[in-house]
């Protein structure tokens, strides 16, 4: 099976004195569903940031979808991000844009036709049960609704890789279940590789998944 | 409403800059018009023992625009009673010759001094009347007025810079987040900053259009023209082609610079 992520002796740090991830090696198969768990401050989110190029490797190599992220150029990084859907813990929605336009963002960046953009947004709004909120602004929605918008945005351009940082943290059961269903659907229907950073793996997962655990700067697969 | 609020802050800042700029232009035009007015009303009188060639007098100094011989008839008329024609003719011949010198512009006291020296080098010229007392007072008033305008311009410059910096901080706060989010989804810099440049362009157009309407109205007001005619000058308050072009250029340059500065100073979120 093709590898979508290959890390070799990878070290990540925000400063020279503070190494968060220390010389880890792992790989993730294309089309798999992966959970990354670990205690608070263990480096889960840091690792996820490195996967979309927001944090460059200090040591070793990190290849995501064929792109070596150590010393990656801006244009190559943009290309990788165009094929990646990211769900942030703090949603990162554009405040001055409507829900509809926020979901449209990856499609605008990828240069899709306006009709395709609108059709895709309409479909996703139905999936996240927010069709009636399309014209509203993010700050007019609850936290759960904002996270559903962020999820719809991450899926809008059918990405090959979906990275989700605690997508259900602090959400009610209804929103959480909706998000897990969408992530499962993206993995099974779109064949996207899904990597989720979380504290708790939901018990109701209906698909096979892999589980990596981060502890003391190293990562190991939990069987 | 939201869209209006997005535009309002920069439009107000640009409008106040354009207002200050045009006000300064109007004041500068008023000073120039008043200076021309003074130059038209100011002249020197030269007294010579013999008749002078008017062209030769004009060549003595570049400041001299025109030399006019003054007729002695009005002086002689006062002495007319009891003097016969022969003696009057003799008197006319013995009287010194008077010339009025019209200048190219309103001179400074040092220019008047140099001109006087240049004229007195001609041995036939015995006196140059510069009306220095009244000239000096008027010139000092003009200088004071110009200084006040310079201080005003400087203050406007400072306020403009402060306004731009304030606007810069607001814009940085408002647009950096969106640019970062767009960057995280792979938007190239030109795309993530396109909204910023479009906003800068539209706001520059709105501010220039508002300034155009405001000054067209001011320029057509009777009261404003009356104020200028009261001091004997006529001033173009607003030239719809030249002044508007300058305003539009200033607004576009300022807002584009603001956008460029934000794009340059934007750092990708980690």
- The pLDDT tens digits of the residues spanning B93-110 come to 778 888 999 888 888 888
Mean pLDDT of all residues in chain B? 84
* A95 interfaces chain B, CB cutoff of 8 Å: yes
**B6 chain-A contacts, CB cut-off 8 A:** 96
Q: Report how far residue A55's alpha carbon sits from residue A35's, in angstroms, rounded to the nearest whole number.
A: 20
Confidence at B59, pLDDT banded by 50, 70, 90 = confident
DSSP string, A29-72: ETT-EEEEEE-TTSSHHHHHHHHTTSS--SEEEEEETTEE-TT-
Min Cα separation A172/chain B (Å): 25
Mean pLDDT of B9-35: 84
Q: Write out pLDDT tens, residues A65-115.
A: 999 999 899 999 999 999 999 999 999 999 989 999 999 999 999 999 999
Q: Report how far residue A92's alpha carbon sits from residue A145's, in angstroms, rounded to the nearest whole number.
A: 13
Q: How far apart are the first and last CA of chain A?
A: 19
CA dihedral B180, B181, B186, B191 (to 10 degrees): -70
B234 SS3 class = coil
Nearest to B201 by CA among B255, B261, B260: B255
* CA A140 to the chain's CA centroid: 24
| Residue in B171, B185, B190 to test binding to A, most A beta-carbons within 10 Å | B185
Query: Most distant CA pair in chain A: distance in Å?
Result: 51
Are the Cβ atoms of A78 and B268 closer than 8 angstroms? Answer: no
Q: pLDDT at residue B82 above 80? A: no
| Residue in B1, B182, B186, B267 to test binding to A, most A beta-carbons within 10 Å | B186
For helices A99-109 and A143-155, what crossing angle results, to 10°?
20
Q: Write out pLDDT tens, residues A165-223.
A: 999 987 888 889 999 999 999 999 989 999 999 988 888 788 899 999 999 999 999 87
Domain stops at, among B130, B155, B176:
B130
Are the Cβ atoms of A109 and B187 closer than 8 angstroms? Answer: yes
Domain stops at, among B86, B111, B130:
B130
Q: What angle do CA A98, A104, A107 make, to 5 degrees?
A: 160
Between the CA of residue A199 and those of A181, A196, A205, A219, B201, what are the distances in Å?
18, 10, 15, 15, 47
Q: What is the ipTM of this complex?
A: 0.90
Min Cα separation B177/chain A (Å): 7
Are the Cβ atoms of B188 and A77 closer than 8 angstroms? Answer: no
pLDDT (0 to 100) of residue B3: 64
Q: pLDDT at residue A121 above 60? A: yes
Are the Cβ atoms of B2 and A96 closer than 8 angstroms? Answer: yes
User: Residues B49, B33: one domain?
Assistant: no
* A78 interfaces chain B, CB cutoff of 8 Å: yes
A 10 A CB-CB count for A22 gives 18
Are the Cβ atoms of B2 and A49 closer than 8 angstroms? Answer: no
Q: Report how far residue A131's alpha carbon sits from residue A59's, in angstroms, rounded to the nearest whole number.
A: 46
User: Residues B24, B125: one domain?
Assistant: no
Could you say which of A54, A97, A137 has the minimum Cβ distance to residue B270? A54
Could you say which of B2, B174, B269 has the minimum Cβ distance to residue A54? B269
pLDDT (0 to 100) of residue B79: 67
Helical (H) or strand (E) element with A22:
strand A18-29
| Least reliable range by pLDDT among A206-210, B37-41, B113-117, B193-197 | B37-41
In a domain, B98, yes or no: yes
| Residue in A105, A146, A152 to test binding to B, most B beta-carbons within 10 Å | A105
Contact in structure between A18 and A52 (CB atoms under 8 Å): no
pLDDT (0 to 100) of residue B270: 46
User: Residues B24, B155: one domain?
Assistant: yes
Phi and psi, residue B176, nearest 5°: -60, -40
User: Residues B165, B99: one domain?
Assistant: no
Mean pLDDT of A15-25: 89
User: Residues B108, B170: one domain?
Assistant: no
Strand-pair category, A161-165 with A84-87: parallel
**B185 chain-A contacts, CB cut-off 8 A:** 81-82, 86, 105-106, 109, 153
Structure token pair of residue A24: 């880890």
| Least reliable range by pLDDT among A66-70, A156-160, B90-94 | B90-94
Nearest to A167 by CA among A100, A90, A78, A102: A90
Structure token pair of residue B11: 């439009």
Contact in structure between A25 and A2 (CB atoms under 8 Å): no
In a domain, B176, yes or no: yes
Q: How many domains does chain B have?
A: 2
Domain stops at, among B67, B98, B130:
B130
Mean pLDDT of B10-28: 85
User: Residues B157, B243: one domain?
Assistant: yes
Q: pLDDT at residue B160 above 90? A: no
In a domain, B210, yes or no: yes
Q: pLDDT at residue B214 above 90? A: yes
User: Residues B18, B103: one domain?
Assistant: no
Q: pLDDT at residue B267 above 80? A: no
**B8 chain-A contacts, CB cut-off 8 A:** none
Q: Report how far residue A118's alpha carbon sits from residue A100's, in angstroms, rounded to the nearest whole number.
A: 9
Mean pLDDT of all residues in chain A? 93
User: Residues B171, B209: one domain?
Assistant: yes
Structure token pair of residue B27: 């004041």
**A-B C-beta contacts closer than 8 Å:** 55
Query: Most distant CA pair in chain B: distance in Å?
Result: 109
User: Residues B155, B190: one domain?
Assistant: yes
Confidence at A1, pLDDT banded by 50, 70, 90 = low
Q: pLDDT at residue B1 above 60? A: no
In a domain, B270, yes or no: no
pLDDT (0 to 100) of residue B43: 85
Are the Cβ atoms of B186 and A84 closer than 8 angstroms? Answer: yes
User: Residues B173, B112: one domain?
Assistant: no
Min Cα separation B1/chain A (Å): 12
Give the residue carrying structure tokens 């460029």. Answer: B260
Confidence at B132, pLDDT banded by 50, 70, 90 = confident
| Least reliable range by pLDDT among A178-182, B21-25, B113-117 | B21-25
Could you say which of B186, B191, B268 has the minimum Cβ distance to residue A79? B186
Q: Which letter, b or e, does each residue of B165-202 get, where b requires 16 or more Cβ atoms within 10 Å of its Cβ? A: eebbeebbebbbbbbbbbbbbbbbeebbbebbbebbee
- Taking only residues 180 to 219 of chain B, the set having a beta carbon closer than 8 angstroms to any beta carbon of chain A reads 180-188, 191
| Residue in A75, A81, A89, A138 to test binding to B, most B beta-carbons within 10 Å | A81
In a domain, B101, yes or no: yes
Bigger pLDDT: A154 vs B87: A154
Q: Write out pLDDT tens, residues B169-200.
A: 787 777 888 999 999 999 998 998 888 899 88
User: Residues B103, B166: one domain?
Assistant: no
Contacts of B37 (CB under 8 A, 6+ apart): B232, B233
* A190 interfaces chain B, CB cutoff of 8 Å: no
CATH code of B80's domain: 3.30.70.260
Nearest to B156 by CA among B27, B35, B29: B27
User: Residues B19, B145: one domain?
Assistant: yes
For residue B106, give the DSSP letter: P
High-pLDDT (> 70) share of chain B, %: 94
Give the domain extent around B12: 2-37+138-265
In a domain, B242, yes or no: yes
* A81 interfaces chain B, CB cutoff of 8 Å: yes
Q: pLDDT at residue B262 above 50? A: yes
């Amino acid at each position: 099976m093709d590898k979508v992520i290959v890390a070799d002796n990878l070290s990540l740090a925000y400063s020279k004195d503070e190494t968060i991830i220390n010389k880890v090696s792992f790989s993730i198969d294309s089309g798999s569903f992966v959970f990354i768990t670990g205690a608070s401050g263990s480096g889960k989110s840091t690792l996820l940031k490195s996967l979309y190029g927001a944090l460059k490797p200090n040591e070793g190599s990190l290849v995501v979808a064929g792109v070596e992220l150590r010393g990656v150029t801006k244009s190559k990084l943009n290309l990788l991000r165009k094929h990646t859907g990211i769900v942030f813990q703090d949603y990162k929605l554009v405040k001055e844009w409507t829900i509809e336009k926020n979901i449209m963002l990856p499609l605008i960046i990828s240069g899709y036709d306006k009709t395709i953009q609108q059709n895709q947004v309409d479909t996703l709004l139905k999936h996240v049960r927010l069709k009636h909120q399309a014209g509203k602004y993010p700050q007019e929605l609850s936290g759960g609704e904002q996270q559903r918008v962020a999820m719809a945005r991450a899926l809008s351009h059918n990405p090959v890789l979906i990275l989700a940082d605690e997508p259900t943290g602090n959400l009610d059961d209804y929103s959480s279940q909706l998000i897990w269903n969408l992530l499962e659907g993206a993995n099974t229907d779109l064949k996207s590789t899904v990597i989720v950073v979380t504290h708790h793996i939901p018990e109701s997962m209906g698909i096979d998944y892999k589980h990596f655990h981060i502890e003391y700067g190293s990562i190991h697969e939990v069987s | 409403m939201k869209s209006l609020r997005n535009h309002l802050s920069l439009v107000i800042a640009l409008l106040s800059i354009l207002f200050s700029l045009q006000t300064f232009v109007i004041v500068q035009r008023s000073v120039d018009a008043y200076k021309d007015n003074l130059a038209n009303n100011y002249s020197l009188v030269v007294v010579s023992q013999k008749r002078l060639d008017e062209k030769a007098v004009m060549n003595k100094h570049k400041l001299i625009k025109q030399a006019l011989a003054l007729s002695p008839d009005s002086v002689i008329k006062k002495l007319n009673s009891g003097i016969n024609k022969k003696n009057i003719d003799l008197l006319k011949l013995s009287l010194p010759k008077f010339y009025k010198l019209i200048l190219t512009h309103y001179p400074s006291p040092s220019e008047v001094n140099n001109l006087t020296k240049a004229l007195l080098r001609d041995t036939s010229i015995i006196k140059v009347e510069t009306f220095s007392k009244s000239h000096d007072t008027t010139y000092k008033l003009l200088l004071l007025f110009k200084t006040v305008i310079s201080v005003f311009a400087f203050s406007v410059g400072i306020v403009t810079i402060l306004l731009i910096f304030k606007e810069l901080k607001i814009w940085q706060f408002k647009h950096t987040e969106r640019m970062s989010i767009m960057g995280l989804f792979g938007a190239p810099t030109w795309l993530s900053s396109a909204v910023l440049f479009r906003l800068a362009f539209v706001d520059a157009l709105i501010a220039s259009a508002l300034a155009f309407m405001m000054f067209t109205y001011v320029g057509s007001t009777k009261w404003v023209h009356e104020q200028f005619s009261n001091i004997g000058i006529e001033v173009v308050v607003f030239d719809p082609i030249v002044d508007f072009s300058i305003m539009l250029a200033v607004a576009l340059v300022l807002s584009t610079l603001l956008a460029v500065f934000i794009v340059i100073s934007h750092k990708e979120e980690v």
